[in-house]
């Protein structure tokens, strides 16, 4: 058991050391500069990334608000299973996020698209649409 725990910690430290700090700073700057009266942050992901998206959305939306830091409008598009399954059934799984973003996301909004592979058609379609209307994705 000791070897397992020790190995896990070593891998975790190695992973944390590989993070580009400038990327984290860039995300913080985006959050600092968003206008909470005008803009919304959207979160999407599949599978485990959907859980991460939901958790991240709550950290940003509720976490910052209860600490008196900032009250940002957040929407996690993975959290409404009936909507996801109806879109998937009616117009295809590749549209589950695009259909929810269409005519809602706008210039200046943010889309956090979380994906382990980076190849999911539904994630890519949503990100492409978000960029086409001037949102940051």
Kindly provide the residue ranges of all beta strands, DSSP E only, lying in 13-134, ordered along the sequence: 40-45, 73-76, 110-114
pLDDT score of 109: 97
Pairing of strands 73-76, 110-114: unpaired
Q: Is the pLDDT of residue 69 over 90?
A: no
Contact partners, residue 73, CB within 8 Å, separation at least 6: 36, 39, 40, 41, 61
Q: Which domain holds residue 67?
A: 34-132
Claim to verify: residue 63 and residue 124 sit in the same structural domain: yes
- Could you give the angle at the alpha carbon of 88 between the alpha carbons of 47 and 80, nearest 5°? 60
Q: What is the pLDDT of residues 73-109, one digit of tens each?
A: 999 999 999 999 999 999 999 999 999 999 999 999 9
Claim to verify: residue 63 and residue 106 sit in the same structural domain: yes
Number of domains, the chain: 2
Kindly provide the residue ranges of all beta strands, DSSP E only, lying in 51-95, ordered along the sequence: 73-76
For 38-59, what is the mean pLDDT?
A: 97
Contact partners, residue 18, CB within 8 Å, separation at least 6: none
- pTM (two decimals): 0.88
Claim to verify: residue 5 and residue 54 sit in the same structural domain: no
Claim to verify: residue 48 and residue 109 sit in the same structural domain: yes
* Domain assignment present for 137: no
CA distance 65 to 96: 28
């Amino acid at each position: 058991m000791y070897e397992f725990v020790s190995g896990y910690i070593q891998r975790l430290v190695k992973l944390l050391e590989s993070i580009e700090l400038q990327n984290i700073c860039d995300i913080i700057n985006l959050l600092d500069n968003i206008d909470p009266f005008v803009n919304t942050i959207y979160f999407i992901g599949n599978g485990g990334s959907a859980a991460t998206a939901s958790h991240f959305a709550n950290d940003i939306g509720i976490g910052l608000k209860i600490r008196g830091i900032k009250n940002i409008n957040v929407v996690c598009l993975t959290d409404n299973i009936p909507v996801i399954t109806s879109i998937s059934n009616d117009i295809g799984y590749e549209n589950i996020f695009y259909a929810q973003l269409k005519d809602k996301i706008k210039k200046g909004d943010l889309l956090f698209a979380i994906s382990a592979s980076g190849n999911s058609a539904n994630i890519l379609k949503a990100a492409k649409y978000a960029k086409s209307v001037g949102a940051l994705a």
